[in-house]
Structure 1
């Protein structure tokens, strides 16, 4: 009888232990499931918010870039910067907004010739052009020159081998170009020049200038005389 009572108590104790163990396992599983569900929901919300923020940031960057491009286009189209013509004008010696300078007109130039020979062999004549006009002009290039002889014939002068320089003349400025030839020291030259017919660069009107007094005689014919480009004096 005593043995039966002990066995019954043991069975009751075992049943109680199993019941508590089963309850604890169920509670732990529920808690784990709830925690997992909360973590998943939090992760989903965070990802959605992050993607939304990235999208808004990208939109802001695109808007900023578009605005900057628009401002640049507006600035260029408004002409606030120097254009091609302005830069070309500056390169030609004018102001940044003047563009290409007009040519120096014959009527606005005071033209004179002088003997500039360094010795009795090399003949050099300097022809000077002074801008008497009221505006800056271009005298760049080769002038046309004919030599008139005592027999009233004239001979065009050929160009020497030289690269023209940019020669711009402000009012009162002077440009010069040269004639070169070989001097005949014998005094028996067949040529007797009296005048120079000068046409400034890019012009069509001619002016007569006296052959410089004291200049050496030209050896041979006028074929050996050469004219060189203008340059600032």
Structure 2
């Protein structure tokens, strides 16, 4: 299982790969696309994305990197890019609830939502610049100061600026308020509240970045550095 789904007037979707810190595997990304297909037909009032107390989503799943190629990795990133654009333009309210870490593509999922609720222990990182992938950068710029994040360092919720719009305790009030809005007025309200974003330009920038030769090598080097840093940190504890 990659997702736990509760369907009602509001859909609550829990990313459910705790053994992999909810990293975005091909199966998880496909499941999210399938879910958005279903939601596009049924039109819930809102869709809520949640993780677990330790991890919202650890980003692009690198666990099978040795069996990947530049082409397969590029395809996976483009599938995630399309997922972000679908979420950002969904015909219903979208909410991300973050209690733990949201990294890379996981943080981009958060940024694509209308409401971005983060607990005091939530933290965010956008490390794509460290391996040359432009994913969600223009959207991040439209909601907050990207210079806080673009170096790839981890940022606490309290320092995340406009990326965070509230706390998890605000969720019920947000959903109750939205439920009282006349359904005929919701599309216009969503369009007015969402930041101006050029989806075609964003996907073109992503395509250029992931089709630059050497993607596999760049990700391999990034993963090696990340594992080395983790081991060094553990030695210091």
TM-score by length of 2: 0.18
Q: Which has the higher strand share?
A: 1
Q: Which has the higher helix share?
A: 2
Rg larger in structure: 1
TM-score by length of 1: 0.18
